Amino acid sequence: MKNKPNIKYIAFDADDTLWDNEPFYRALEHVFNEIMLDKMTPEESSAELFKTEIANLPLFGYGAKAYTLSILETALRLSNDTLPAASVRKILDAGKQLTDSPLVLLDSVEEVLKALAPKYKLILATKGDLLDQERKLKKSRLEKYFHHIEIMSDKQTGDYKKLFQHLDIEANEFLMIGNSMRSDIFPVVELGGFAIHVPYHTTWKHEKMDDVGLPDDRFMEIDTLLNIPKECHWI
């Protein structure tokens, strides 16, 4: 058996890894689909929304505000700028509700953080809107377990590199845990770190990627956070 790696830092993604997130976005999308129903099917309006979201990423980044703006933009485009003010209002109200969603921790989150915190430096590494994520973190009451909180505008290799430099971390002492193959797994493994994919039941299309080509000595999938301490042989 190979030597156990010398992992010192364990980083957690937040949305859909520590707490529910995607279902609230889907609820807002549903409001939009309903408004567009007289013009097209929900699948069609969702496909149009996805195009707008991807086009807006460089401008707005991730998070609830960006999402609400993309929905408004798509609704205006699909209605040839004839979207009734009442529908604009409905979208804005639902968008506000999204930023005020209840914070629901996923199963056993606190138990796992409590078990790992004495042995490793825990990091929270999440992307999205700063205010949005700060609010959620506060509601979660998990802040005390983390050595460092990093709210990133994106989670690509360059963003992780900056985090490593900032905290003086070597890639091979870093383990990332998250639900997104694109944001949490691929960039970290590419830099020489370790990654555990913990799938969530719903994933935004943009975050999905097949695990083809990932080395199994630095990548694994575990079905729930709770099983990480006993199933992950790196820690």
Closest to Mg ion by CB, 71 vs 177, is: 177
By C-alpha distance, which of 234, 223, 201, 232 is closest to 21?
Answer: 201
CA 180 vs. chain centroid, Å, equals 6
Q: Confirm if 227 and 108 have CB atoms less than 8 A apart.
A: no
CB contact set of 217 (below 8 Å; sequence gap of 6+): 2
Determine the interface stretch with Mg ion among 30-38, 116-124, 146-154, 177-185 (rule: CB under 5 A): 177-185
Distance from C-alpha of 55 to C-alpha of 49, rounded to nearest angstrom: 10
Candidates 53, 68, 179, 228: give the one binding Mg ion (CB under 5 A). 179
Q: Confirm if 72 and 99 have CB atoms less than 8 A apart.
A: no
Q: Minimal distance in Å, beta carbon 49 to Mg ion?
A: 19
Q: Which of residues 43-102 bind Mg ion (CB under 5 A)?
A: none
Distance from C-alpha of 17 to C-alpha of 150, rounded to nearest angstrom: 15
Q: Which of residues 11-40 bind Mg ion (CB under 5 A)?
A: 13, 15-16
Q: Which residue has the tokens 């990932």?
A: 214
Closest to Mg ion by CB, 13 vs 53, is: 13
Closest to Mg ion by CB, 136 vs 218, is: 136
Q: Minimal distance in Å, beta carbon 138 to Mg ion?
A: 18
Q: Confirm if 2 and 8 have CB atoms less than 8 A apart.
A: no
Determine the interface stretch with Mg ion among 80-88, 144-152, 158-166, 180-188 (rule: CB under 5 A): 180-188
Give yes or no for residue 150 binding Mg ion (CB under 5 A). no
Closest to Mg ion by CB, 15 vs 132, is: 15
Q: Minimal distance in Å, beta carbon 127 to Mg ion?
A: 8
Closest to Mg ion by CB, 36 vs 186, is: 186
Determine the interface stretch with Mg ion among 56-64, 96-104, 175-183, 189-197 (rule: CB under 5 A): 175-183
Determine the interface stretch with Mg ion among 7-15, 88-96, 135-143, 216-224 (rule: CB under 5 A): 7-15
Distance from C-alpha of 48 to C-alpha of 50, rounded to nearest angstrom: 5
Closest to Mg ion by CB, 24 vs 74, is: 24
By C-alpha distance, which of 137, 127, 111 is closest to 228?
Answer: 111
Determine the interface stretch with Mg ion among 9-17, 40-48, 112-120, 156-164 (rule: CB under 5 A): 9-17
List Cα–Cα distances, 188 to 15, 139, 162, in angstroms. 18, 28, 12
Q: Name the site residues for Mg ion (rule: CB under 5 A).
A: 13, 15-16, 179-180
